[in-house]
Amino acid sequence: MGVQQNFIGGEWVDGATARDNINPSDLSDIVGTYAQADAAGVTRAVDAAKSAAHGWNRSTPQQRYDVLEFVGNEIMARRDELGRLLAREEGKTLPEGIGEATRAAQIFKFFAGEALRIQGEKVQSVRPGVDVEITREPVGIVGIITPWNFPIAIPAWKIAPALAYGNCVVFKPADLVPGCAWAIAEILSRSGLPKGAFNLVMGRGSVVGEAILNNDAIGAVSFTGSVDTGKHVAATCTARFAKVQLEMGGKNPMVVLDDADLDTAVGAVVNGAFFSTGQRCTASSRLVVTEGIHDRFVNAVVEKIKTLKVDDALTAGTDIGPVVDESQLSQDMKYLEIGQGEGAKLAFGGERLNRSKEGFYLQPALFTETTNAMRINREEIFGPVASVIRVKDYDEALAVANDTQFGLSAGICTTSLKHASHFKRNSEAGMVMVNLPTAGVDYHVPFGGRKGSSYGPREQGRYAAEFYTTVKTAYTLP
């Protein structure tokens, strides 16, 4: 297999350099070699998008529907293949990879339908004889920058609405996971899109990402990634008055009350904290547990973790795959040392594991006897590491849950309708789960958080229109 090229102006083009895509489950397995664009490549992609913009933003709803439906149908038909590719390059288990590919297909198909449902308003003017129309129009050219932890779903939930609302796209995937992004681009290349309406530029964030942020022709940038990078994205874009949408970190609480069903609580916590190797911005990293159930809960979670199989993402029966790369594994190990240095008790796990193939395997870790002031409870670790915080009652649990710079997702396990209702209303998070994992959301409703987790309009569902369109008010005197 040769170098997988960038897609610019309807053509496959070489990059300035190329980079191997390594399987974190098996470091001897090269998934593929992918082109790396430079700033000149981004300029070429933006120029192609400018050439396509007038035609695509005047396209009919049926044209947009046809393109997105084509993409959704093909991803769905190839979900096993694409899920396997995802598992190889990112380290999710094969069932998780197939599930994510399925979700990407559903997202494209949802926004195919949304292309047919773009609405406006006609209202009466306060002036006699004047008509007023309020319509939504494309922003123009959208820069899309995605992370490595959801290499097909997050690109889908940004690319699909951008195209559905008539925008042209310049797309930079995470450097670690170009395979799924390239697969989406290849499908889009056969979808009937006009040349230049969609462009793929793979490469380093410091090169390709910066070129996207600083190009005046890009009217909006949607970014998912770290808080520090998000702050830079916001500062750069707002300085030139470009729209910006940020989804960043999380330090999500899962509250477990004395009246919770223990099996439900353990299932929700283990899923939310450790599945997908804990590499989810919605992961349950802070487990806020009341005194009456604390010891039983901790014992049950430890026993459940012991049953989880950590192995090659493609091996049947694997529950948790590897950490994505050496850098992320080093970060996880550093926080394990920090937690113990702060006085937290490592109740289970935290060991680097050896398997039949060399990879980045880490045993899921559970800290107990922690306080909310510890770094392990303030900073996002982004790995299979969770901390238990013991609290007296519901009121203290709510206060601890809200005591964070983040506000993406929050959960509560309880059989009390009173406490569930109060928590939904008073949790300072953009998404709240009751007796469900904090990770795992539907594709047709808004996604996003508060405080340091999100900035700008929501993603997904019909709320995506707030970011990918601009509102025009037109007055007519017949």
Determine whether 247 is an active site residue. yes
Is the Cα dihedral 15, 141, 241, 249 positive or negative?
negative
How many whole angstroms separate alpha carbon 265 and alpha carbon 276? 18
How many whole angstroms separate alpha carbon 368 and alpha carbon 363? 16
Determine whether 100 is an active site residue. no
Among 385, 322, 309, 301, residue whose Cα is nearest residue 23: 322
Give 130-155 as a DSSP string: -EEEEEEEE-SEEEEE--SSSTTHHH
Of 247, 380, 413, 459, the catalytic one is: 247
Burial 72-86 (b: 16+ CB within 10 A, else e): bebbbebbeebbbbb
Of 96, 281, 413, 459, the catalytic one is: 281
DSSP H or E segment with residue 222 = strand 220-224
In DSSP terms, 289 is beta-bridged to 256, 390
- Rounded to 5°, angle at Cα 260 from 403 and 288: 20
Provide the token pair at 117: 């449902």
Residue 293 makes CB contacts below 8 A (sequence gap 6+) with 256, 257, 258, 260, 262, 265
- In the chain the first and final C-alpha atoms are separated, in Å, by 63
| Helix locations, 344-409, DSSP H | 375-378, 394-402
Positions annotated as catalytic residues are 247, 281
